[in-house]
Amino acid sequence: MTETTMSDLKLRALMAIRDYGVNLTQFRNAMNEWAGLNATDMECLRLLFQKGVSTPSELARQTGLTSGATTAMLDRLEKAGLIVRRPNPNDRRGTLITPEKSSSEKMASWFASARKAQDELISSYPESDLEIIADVFERFAKLWDQEREKIQKG
């Protein structure tokens, strides 16, 4: 492969990654609006589904919200039936936040069309390509996590 072709392919890949991020953000914004939630509400839900349980302080730290804004967000999510607050058994003054049991199915229905489209797209690739695709996304996820840590450390 010539150096020009390699440079062109690297640029094409980086532009595709950029476009993926932009289009994913636009999709998420449209979904948020459709669901009547804001971007931070949905981010909180993604974090809760990933972790399973969190404290309001952890959610505030991860979303960048103040404690008051976090409380308002949790009030909205609880009112929508998407989260449950319960006492923290390890801290009698604390609260634990978990996704409401039915919220998983509720949110899955919101994303059914997108999940079907993703499955159709990913199923169109042979196993060898899927290994490369998985590797690229795993490595980019790690890269963004490392870059976030650098920013947070100053």
CA distances from 124 to 42, 120, 128, 137 (A): 30, 6, 12, 17
Per-residue pLDDT reduced to its tens digit, 54-105? 999 999 999 999 999 999 999 999 998 999 999 999 888 899 999 998 888 8
Q: Is the pLDDT of residue 1 over 70?
A: no
Over the range 16-45, which residues count as b (16 or more CB within 10 Å of their CB) and which as e?
A: eeeeeeeeeeeeeeebbeebebeebbbbbb
Residues constituting the chain: 154
Distance of alpha carbon 43 from alpha carbon 146, whole angstroms: 19
Strand, coil or helix: 37: coil
> What is the average pLDDT score of the chain?
92
Instruction: Please give the average per-residue pLDDT across 33-51, as a whole number.
Output: 89
Per-residue pLDDT reduced to its tens digit, 3-25? 779 899 999 999 999 999 999 99
Per-residue pLDDT reduced to its tens digit, 118-130? 999 999 999 999 9
Distance of alpha carbon 127 from alpha carbon 29, whole angstroms: 32
Instruction: Please give the average per-residue pLDDT across 109-119, as a whole number.
Output: 92
How large a percentage of the chain has pLDDT more than 70?
99
- CA 7, chain centre distance (Å): 31
0.75 exceeded by pTM:
no
